[in-house]
Copies of this chain bind each other. A is one copy, B any other.
Amino acid sequence: MKPRITLKKIAKEFGVSISTVSKALKDSHEISEETRGKIKAFADYYNYKPNSLALQLRNQKTSVIGVIIPEIVHHFFSTVINGIEQYANEKGYNVMVCLSNESYEKEVSNFTVLTNGSVDGLIVSIARETQENKVYKHFDAIISDDFPLVLFDRIIDELKCDKVIIDDIGGAHKATNHLIEIGAKRIALITTQDYITVGSLRKQGYLKALKTSGLTIEENLIYKINDTQDLYKQIEKVIQVKNPPDAILAVNEIYAAIALKIAKEKGLSIPKDIAIIGFTSGLISEFTDPSLTSVVQHGDLMGKQAAELLINRIENTAPSEYQKVVISSNLKIRKSTLSEN
């Protein structure tokens, strides 16, 4: 790569000082019209642009936001990034994305790389492994330094920082109520392991709805899926029992789509024999047959909110108390819960 042109080189070319060049390019009245003209023409011709590293160092500001997420090949996370990027861009920030791949170690290494001056703040959704082992010490340093930080979706309640979450309890509550309204009596829940916060929150919403409706809670209707094992086999057990449930609430789109597929294979009619709802912001629900009713998650909005909180924190326009923003979710009713009469 050819070396880029610098103020120093331009200065040398005209036998003037670096400051003269700098001022000339900024149209300073301190520099004579003549000198200004020459310098600007030359700089223009050689396509001069200030080196942003030098500027960042001088201004002690990078205008870059770091984002650490568990994975990117996941519709929800990519909508969040989209939201972050849109808002950040409006405010003149760029986005640096790092993946933890659900690994604690990688998350920590991302932390160290990003907090060494290359970004002005951090937006994080925590890796599964980190949540499982509950080791949060990599947060200590940056929190005690008041480094701008926003957690989203998978958060840690104890940490002192801004947070954005989906109204998981409310979403699951609405979904479960909807199932009850269309006549379901025995609603199975397909959820994650307990340490995934969103899974356990959605379970709370589910339980709450059952209680207020006076339905009995059957522990054996709650299935905790292990994401590292075969999903089909695990979900098959929900349906292939002597007394199958008459409705299913799944905490994500994939679980729901698999359940639907299996139910159809077993000859069940949906929603007549069994109604199904998933959580999602993905595309699958639209194209299954029947299409899947689902709790819509508004990842874009979540990203926007997270970026807004962060930038306010960076620019010191935030209130001193940390905020917890809850993004409400709504039910998109499709055919998997819609009787055709």
A residues near B (Cβ < 8 Å) are 1-2, 4, 47, 49-54, 56-57, 62, 64, 71-75, 78-79, 81-82, 85, 94-99, 112-118, 141, 145-148, 254, 257, 260-261, 264, 282-284, 287-289
Residues from chain B with a CB closer than 8 A to the CB of A47 are: 141
CA distance A153 to B68 in the complex (A): 26
A113's nearest neighbour on chain B, judged by CB, is: B94
Residue on B with the closest CB to A49? B116
Bound form: Cα–Cα A49–B109 in Å:
13
Residue of B nearest to A74 (CB): B78
Given contacts A57-B54, A73-B79, A282-B283, contact A98 B116 (CB under 8 A): no
16 contacts between A and B (CB under 8 A): A1-B148, A2-B145, A47-B141, A49-B115, A51-B57, A51-B117, A53-B53, A53-B56, A72-B81, A73-B82, A75-B75, A78-B78, A81-B97, A94-B113, A257-B287, A289-B289
Cα-based distance from A275 to B23 in the complex (angstroms): 68
- 15 additional contacts (CB under 8 A) given A72-B72, A94-B96: A4-B117, A49-B116, A50-B116, A51-B57, A53-B53, A53-B117, A53-B118, A54-B117, A57-B57, A74-B78, A75-B75, A78-B78, A95-B96, A96-B97, A283-B283
Cβ–Cβ contact B284 & A264, under 8 A: no
Nearest CB of chain B from residue A317's CB, rounded to whole Å? 14
Copy total for this chain = 2
Q: Is the CB of A53 within 8 A of B62?
A: yes
A75 touches B72 (CB 8 A): no
User: CA–CA, A1 to B310, complex, Å?
Assistant: 12
Given contacts A49-B116, A117-B4, A146-B1, contact A78 B82 (CB under 8 A): no
Once the chains are docked, how many angstroms separate the CA of A323 from the CA of B74? 31
Instruction: Say yes or no: A73 contacts B64, CB within 8 Å.
Output: no
A30 to B140, CA, bound (A): 34
- Tell me, in angstroms, the Cα distance from A223 to B47 when the chains sit together: 44
Check A52/B117 contact, CB under 8 A, given A96-B94, A288-B287: yes
Chain B contacts for A282, CB-based, 8 A: 283
Q: Is the CB of A97 within 8 A of B99?
A: no
**C-alpha gap A73/B79 in the complex (Å):** 6
Q: Which residues of B contact A112 (CB under 8 A)?
A: 49
The residue on B at minimum CB distance from A314 is B1
CB pair A4 B97 closer than 8 Å:
no
Tell me how far the C-beta of A54 lies from the nearest C-beta in chain B, rounded to whole angstroms.
6
Determine the distance from Cα of A82 to Cα of B50 in the docked complex, in whole angstroms: 31
Contacts of A75 in B (CB 8 A): 73, 75
Q: What is the bound-complex CA distance between A96 and B119, given in angstroms?
A: 11
Distance to closest chain B CB from A248 (angstroms): 15
Most chain B C-beta atoms within 10 Å of own C-beta, residue among A52, A54, A95, A147:
A52
Residues of B within 8 Å of A82, CB to CB, are: 71-73, 99
Chain B hits for A98, CB < 8 A: 85, 94-95
Closest CB in chain B relative to A252 CB, distance in Å: 12
Give the CA-CA distance A53 to B64 in the complex, in Å. Answer: 12
- Chain B residue at smallest Cβ distance from A109: B89
C-alpha spacing A120/B154, complex, angstroms:
33
